[in-house]
């Protein structure tokens, strides 16, 4: 078993750190809101630290799951200075590939390693330990930390050098954006056509139209329930990152750009914290 630090106990990080503790690792957690960390300690075996520097001291692996590029940079800046030589920093935040590449280079200069490892599966996946983890970084460092990440993942894979994990997460979000919009339009059409959406989805989900989104969000879309985890504001952050990367590499993402505009309309409806299936709200 290993000595670990986990930075960031949000909706994803909290259960992920919990799975690491239950797997038998020694876990020290840090969260900006200290009461959240204390609550975690009350639920799992581990220790809460009052600073990032204290949390990472002596850790073999440091995990982070925070908000956006500035948050990742801030955590890494402190952690790299305090981590032991040979330690590995794994960032589960969805951020830019450019920052992942930069931090990987900085890590090498500090005699540590950096793995960008964004996740997919949402809050439910984190709670069940069924996340998909997309990794980029040094192959030897990845090989060391991959078994540890299995505590909260059903799939862990290295896709290439630093930044490859973040780029793969962009592909994931591009796919989801189009799927959710298509499902929203389908449910809306069924309602307007006088069909029973539940019966329609039950039938078409057995054919070529089937998807995770259809199985898990069609019914709640029809019921206009939008409290299932991944918020619109976070999806827009992810799409912003993907669209910026597309501008840099020349990829054309017309549907993704359009869906991002639709999410901005949802935000204007007051849906900043609604989950991503709330695209249907703008059609109602």
Q: What is the CATH number of the domain that holds 128?
A: 3.40.50.720
Work out the average pLDDT over 176-194. Answer: 97
Work out the average pLDDT over 45-51. Answer: 97
- 177 with 260, same domain? yes
- 213 with 240, same domain? yes
Q: Which of 128, 154, 169, 225 is catalytic?
A: 169
Q: Quick one: pLDDT at residue 228?
A: 86
- 220 with 141, same domain? no
Candidates 140, 1, 130, 116; CA nearest to 66 is 116
Q: Is 91 helix (H, G, I), strand (E, B) or coil?
A: strand
Q: What are phi and psi of 53, to 5 degrees?
A: -55, -40
Q: Quick one: pLDDT at residue 284?
A: 82
Q: Quick one: pLDDT at residue 252?
A: 98
- Judged on CB neighbours under 10 Å (0-12, 13-18, 19+), 243 is middle
Share of the chain above pLDDT 90, in %: 97
Neighbouring residues of 172: CB distance < 8 A, sequence distance ≥ 6: 120, 134
- 189 with 89, same domain? no
- 175 with 259, same domain? yes
Ranges 101-105, 175-179, 226-230, 258-262: which has the least confidence:
226-230
- 275 with 137, same domain? no
**Is 169 designated active site?**
yes
- 60 with 149, same domain? yes
Q: Quick one: pLDDT at residue 143?
A: 98
Q: Which domain-ending residue is among 138, 161, 184?
A: 161
Give the model confidence (pLDDT) of 105-145 as tens digits: 999 999 999 999 999 999 999 999 999 999 999 999 999 99
Distance of CA 58 to the CA centre of its chain: 26
Q: In the structure, what pLDDT confidence band is assigned to residue 81 with cuts at 50, 70 and 90?
A: very high
Total tally of structural domains belonging to the chain: 2
- 134 with 83, same domain? yes
Share of the chain above pLDDT 70, in %: 100
> In which domain, by residue range, is 254 found?
167-283
Neighbouring residues of 249: CB distance < 8 A, sequence distance ≥ 6: none
Q: Which domain-ending residue is among 141, 161, 181?
A: 161
Cα dihedral across residues 229, 43, 79, 115: positive or negative = negative
- 75 with 181, same domain? no
Give the model confidence (pLDDT) of 135-172 as tens digits: 999 999 999 999 999 999 999 999 999 999 999 999 99
Work out the average pLDDT over 218-247. Answer: 95
- The answer to whether 127 touches 15, Cβ cutoff 8 Å, is yes
Write the CATH number for 260: 1.10.1040.10
- 50 with 151, same domain? yes
pLDDT of 177 > 90? The answer is: yes
Work out the average pLDDT over 39-57. Answer: 97
Q: In the structure, what pLDDT confidence band is assigned to residue 229 with cuts at 50, 70 and 90?
A: confident
């Amino acid at each position: 078993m290993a000595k670990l630090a986990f930075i960031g106990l949000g909706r994803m990080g909290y259960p992920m750190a919990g799975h690491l503790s239950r797997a038998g690792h020694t876990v020290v957690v840090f969260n900006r809101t200290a009461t959240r960390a204390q609550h975690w300690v009350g639920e799992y075996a581990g220790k809460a630290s009052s600073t990032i520097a204290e949390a990472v001291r002596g850790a073999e692996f440091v995990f982070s799951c925070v908000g956006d590029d500035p948050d990742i940079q801030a955590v890494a800046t402190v952690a790299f200075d305090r981590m032991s030589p040979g330690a590995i920093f794994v960032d589960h935040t969805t951020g830019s590939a450019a920052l992942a590449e930069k931090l990987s280079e900085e890590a090498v200069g500090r005699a540590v390693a950096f793995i960008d490892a964004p996740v997919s599966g949402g809050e439910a996946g984190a709670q069940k330990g069924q996340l998909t983890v997309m990794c980029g970084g040094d192959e030897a460092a990845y090989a060391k930390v991959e078994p540890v990440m299995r505590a909260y993942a059903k799939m862990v894979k290295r896709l290439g050098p630093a930044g490859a994990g973040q780029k793969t997460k962009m592909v994931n979000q591009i796919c989801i954006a189009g799927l959710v919009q298509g499902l929203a339009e389908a449910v809306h059409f069924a309602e307007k056509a006088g069909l029973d959406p539940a019966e329609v989805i039950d039938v078409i989900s057995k054919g070529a139209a089937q998807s995770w989104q259809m199985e898990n969000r069609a019914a709640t879309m029809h019921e206009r329930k939008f409290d299932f985890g991944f918020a619109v504001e976070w999806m827009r952050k992810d799409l912003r990152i993907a669209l910026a990367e597309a501008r840099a590499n020349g990829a054309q993402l017309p549907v993704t750009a359009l869906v991002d505009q639709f999410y901005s309309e949802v935000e204007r409806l007051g849906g900043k914290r609604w989950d991503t299936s709330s695209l249907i709200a703008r059609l109602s």
